[in-house]
Amino acid sequence: GAGVSQTPSNKVTEKGKYVELRCDPISGHTALYWYRQSLGQGPEFLIYFQGTGAADDSGLPNDRFFAVRPEGSVSTLKIQRTERGDSAVYLCASSLEGRYNEQFFGPGTRLTVL
Amino acid sequence: DQQVKQNSPSLSVQEGRISILNCDYTNSMFDYFLWYKKYPAEGPTFLISISSIKDKNEDGRFTVFLNKSAKHLSLHIVPSQPGDSAVYFCAATGSNDYKLSFGAGTTVTVRA
């Protein structure tokens, strides 16, 4: 597809379970970003990848959160021992290298932790 | 700490009239500002932006005004159309910074 895609679109899980959220960036975009949007708030930065490496993971809330991008394209956000407070929409964005002001967002994954 | 604030959670406007959305920021390092539009079940899409070297940028029906001394920007939509009904996010960033800082959003409803 032409845009950023994210799967699944919705994920319902139970407290304590492990989840993986996937992001397929726009082809050719080397920069990839994850944001989290909680209810009633704007998106908040989680992590930024340039290529395969996480250049900045300062926005990850704690060590239960981890993200990878092994081949510099698809990225997976992993959440261990989910908590109810993790419920949010997780947004992925991508851009060309250095074009930080031109981030294209995917539709997001709505995560609900029961 | 919320560095970008949109103090009006919602706005209702009649079709054909002007919509004015406001945004305030606190970080003086911000020098680039963006507005995103979001429909339900979709990701935010870029609408218009402005650099701190300008005080106005216009694109069709959309105009963004920046007042650096007041750390305030606004988005004007003229004339408002039913398809403009969406959530609008104000975002800000600094030079060569990859993090976007977003406001909480303003839900615009355009009444026929």
Residue A1 at interface with chain B, using a CB cutoff of 8 Å: no
Residue pair A104/A94 in contact (Cβ under 8 Å)? The answer is yes
8 Å CB contact of B100 and A102? no
What are the beta bridge partners of residue A71?
none
Q: Distance between CA atoms of B100 and B49, rounded to whole angstroms?
A: 12
Residue A101 at interface with chain B, using a CB cutoff of 8 Å: yes
For the stretch A37-82, pLDDT in tens is 999 999 999 999 999 988 899 999 999 999 999 999 999 999 999 9
**Looking at residue A84, what DSSP letter applies?**
G
Q: How far apart are the first and last CA of chain A?
A: 32
Q: A1: exposed, middle or buried (C-beta count within 10 Å: 0-12, 13-18, 19+)?
A: exposed
- Identify the band that residue A1 occupies on the pLDDT scale cut at 50, 70 and 90: low
Alpha carbon of residue A94 to chain centroid: 10
Token duo for residue B36:
């995103």
8 Å CB contact of A31 and B98? yes
pLDDT of residue A2: 81
Token duo for residue B15:
């079709």
Q: Which amino acid is at B41?
A: A
Mean pLDDT of B60-72: 97
Tell me the percentage of chain B whose pLDDT exceeds 70. Answer: 99
Closest CA to A109 of A84, A85, A77: A77
For the stretch B27-45, pLDDT in tens is 999 999 999 999 998 999 9
Q: Is pLDDT of B101 > 70?
A: yes
Q: Distance between CA atoms of B102 and B91, rounded to whole angstroms?
A: 4
Closest approach of A35 to chain B, Cα-based (Å): 9
- Give the residue from A101, A102, A103, A110 with the most B CB atoms within 10 Å of its CB, the best one to mutate: A101
- Identify the band that residue B65 occupies on the pLDDT scale cut at 50, 70 and 90: very high
Q: Distance between CA atoms of A91 and A6, rounded to whole angstroms?
A: 8
Q: Distance between CA atoms of B100 and B63, rounded to whole angstroms?
A: 20
Residue pair A57/A45 in contact (Cβ under 8 Å)? The answer is no
B99 contacts in chain A (CB < 8 Å):
45, 48, 56, 59
Number of other CB atoms surrounding residue B28 within 10 Å: 9
For the stretch B4-20, pLDDT in tens is 999 999 999 999 999 99
